[in-house]
């Protein structure tokens, strides 16, 4: 199996191991990401290896209100001790995560949270799109998996590019803070509210909005 730069990057973000160590691990296990993580932990090369089994039950619940009350976020982030929970670095991380959720509208925390049925449905849609674009059957499945990775970046918080620095993912941001603190840090849950979301607008309201948008009001 071909080991891509994207695979090496993902493994590095998840373990904080060196680039060559990540590549060698992926080669050793023939590209299996979970086995590569286990391999690095067994070799003692993963910075987060000792933290993996720890319990992170401290932390904080943070909130963020945006655009004069139009968007609101509640977020719980956990760490291991009150000491870390009270540091500026941890509180800044929580604030940045809440800002990320407000701006990027993730539906899940990680890939693992996406329901299998939803993934299957998304694959069916992407496959149909690729075939309708006239793509050869033999490359469609590969294209679909590539687009699924993009889908993860749209709906999974930890996979998204960080809004303040798109060169890194949110997972990398969390890893950096965890590495600096020496503790396990995990995003437990979040809720995003948007004013009026899910409420059907009256026809008259929609008509007024259309007129305003087209300059006919």
For 17-63, write each residue's pLDDT tens digit: 778 888 999 999 999 988 988 888 777 666 555 555 566 789 999 99
- The predicted model scores a pTM of 0.67
Domain that holds residue 33: 5-51
Q: What is the pLDDT of residue 53?
A: 58
Q: Measured between alpha carbons, how far is residue 84 from residues 78, 96, 97, 176, 191 in Å?
A: 10, 16, 17, 14, 23
* Same domain assignment for residues 26 and 104: no
Asked if the model's pLDDT at residue 105 lies above 60, the reply is: yes
The whole-number average pLDDT for the span 111-121 is 92
pLDDT tens sequence across 62-82: 999 988 899 999 999 999 999
Asked if the model's pLDDT at residue 202 lies above 60, the reply is: no
* Same domain assignment for residues 89 and 178: yes
Domain count, the chain: 2
* Same domain assignment for residues 168 and 186: yes
Q: Residue 46 belongs to a domain with what CATH number?
A: 1.10.8.10
Q: What is the pLDDT of residue 56?
A: 76
Is 37 a domain residue? yes
* Same domain assignment for residues 44 and 90: no
Where in 122-184 does DSSP place strands (E)?
Answer: 161-162, 165-169
* Same domain assignment for residues 9 and 79: no
Q: Residue 168 belongs to a domain with what CATH number?
A: 3.30.479.20
């Amino acid at each position: 199996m071909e080991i891509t730069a994207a695979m090496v990057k993902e493994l590095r973000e998840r373990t904080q191991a060196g680039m060559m160590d990540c590549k060698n691990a992926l080669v050793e296990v023939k590209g299996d990401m979970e086995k590569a993580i286990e391999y690095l932990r067994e070799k003692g090369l993963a910075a987060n290896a000792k933290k993996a089994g720890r319990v992170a039950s401290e932390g904080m619940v943070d909130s963020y209100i945006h655009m004069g009350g139009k968007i609101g976020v509640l977020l719980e982030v956990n760490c291991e001790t009150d000491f870390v929970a009270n540091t500026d670095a941890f509180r800044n991380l929580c604030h940045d995560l809440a800002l990320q959720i407000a701006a990027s509208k993730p539906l899940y925390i990680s890939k693992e949270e996406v329901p299998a049925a939803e993934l299957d449905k998304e694959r069916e849609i992407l496959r149909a799109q690729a075939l309708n674009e006239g793509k050869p059957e033999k490359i469609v499945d590969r294209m679909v998996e590539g687009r699924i990775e993009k889908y993860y970046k749209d709906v999974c918080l930890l996979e998204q590019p960080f809004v303040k620095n798109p060169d890194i993912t949110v997972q990398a941001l969390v890893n950096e803070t965890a590495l600096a603190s020496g503790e396990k840090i995990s995003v437990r849950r979040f809720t995003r509210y948007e004013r009026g979301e899910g409420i059907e607008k009256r026809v008259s309201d929609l008509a007024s909005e259309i007129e305003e948008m087209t300059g006919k009001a």
